[in-house]
A and B are shown apart, each in its own frame.
Chain A
Amino acid sequence: MSIRLDGVGLTHANGYQALQQIDLSIVSGERVAIIGPSGAGKTSLLRLLGTGLMPSAGQLQLLGEQPATLRGRALRRLRARIGLIHQSPPLPPRQRVVTAVLAGRLGQWSLLRALVSLCYPLDAAGARAALEPLDLEDKLFTRCDQLSGGQLQRVGIARVLYQQADLLLADEPVSAMDPVLAEHTLGLLSQLAERRKLTLVASLHAVDLALRHFPRVIGLRDGRVLFDLPAAEVSQTHLAQLYVNDSLTGHTPPLPSAESAQAEQAPRRCT
Chain B
Amino acid sequence: MHLSRAKADPRDPAALPRLLLTVLAIVLLWPGLVLTEFKPATLVESRNLDVFARFLAGFWPPDLSSDFLRLLGRATLETLAMATAGLALALLLAVPLSLLCSRALSVSALLTGRPAWLADMLRYPARLLLILLRSIPEIVWALLFVRAVGLGPTAGVLAIAITYSGMLGKVYAEIYESVDQRPARALLQAGSSRLAAFCYGILPTAAQELTSYTLYRWECAVRASVIMGFVGAGGLGQMIDLSIRMFAGGEVVTILLTFLLLVLAADQLSSLLRRRLA
The distance in angstroms between the C-alpha atoms of A121 and B10, with both chains bound, is 10
Q: Closest CB-CB distance, B20 to chain A, in whole Å?
A: 13
Which residues of the other chain, B, contact A120 by a CB distance below 8 angstroms? 12, 15, 18
Q: Closest CB-CB distance, B187 to chain A, in whole Å?
A: 44
> Would you call A141 and B12 a contact (CB within 8 A)?
yes
> Would you call B7 and A141 a contact (CB within 8 A)?
no
Take A119-B18, A120-B18 as given contacts and tell me if A98 and B12 are in contact as well, using a CB distance cutoff of 8 Å.
yes
Which residues of the other chain, B, contact A188 by a CB distance below 8 angstroms? none
> Would you call B14 and A96 a contact (CB within 8 A)?
yes
> Would you call A125 and B18 a contact (CB within 8 A)?
no
> A80 interface residue, CB < 8 Å from B?
no
> B40 interface residue, CB < 8 Å from A?
no
The distance in angstroms between the C-alpha atoms of A99 and B7, with both chains bound, is 19
A-contact 0/1 string along B9-22, CB 8 Å cutoff? 11011110010000
> Would you call A141 and B13 a contact (CB within 8 A)?
yes
Which residues of the other chain, B, contact A124 by a CB distance below 8 angstroms? 9-10, 12
Which residues of the other chain, A, contact B18 by a CB distance below 8 angstroms? 119-120
> Would you call B14 and A141 a contact (CB within 8 A)?
yes
Give the residue name and chain of the B residue nearest to A141 (CB): B13
Which residues of the other chain, B, contact A96 by a CB distance below 8 angstroms? 14
The distance in angstroms between the C-alpha atoms of A121 and B13, with both chains bound, is 11
The distance in angstroms between the C-alpha atoms of A128 and B7, with both chains bound, is 9
> Would you call A125 and B13 a contact (CB within 8 A)?
no
Which residues of the other chain, A, contact B14 by a CB distance below 8 angstroms? 96, 141
Q: Closest CB-CB distance, B11 to chain A, in whole Å?
A: 8
> A211 interface residue, CB < 8 Å from B?
no
Residues of B near any A CB (own CB < 8 A)? 7, 9-10, 12-15, 18
19 inter-chain pairs at a CB distance below 8 angstroms, sorted by A residue, are A96-B14, A98-B12, A119-B18, A120-B12, A120-B15, A120-B18, A121-B12, A124-B9, A124-B10, A124-B12, A125-B7, A125-B9, A125-B10, A128-B10, A140-B10, A141-B10, A141-B12, A141-B13, A141-B14
Residues of A near any B CB (own CB < 8 A)? 96, 98, 119-121, 124-125, 128, 140-141
The 3 closest A-B pairs by CB, nearest first: A124-B10, A125-B9, A141-B13
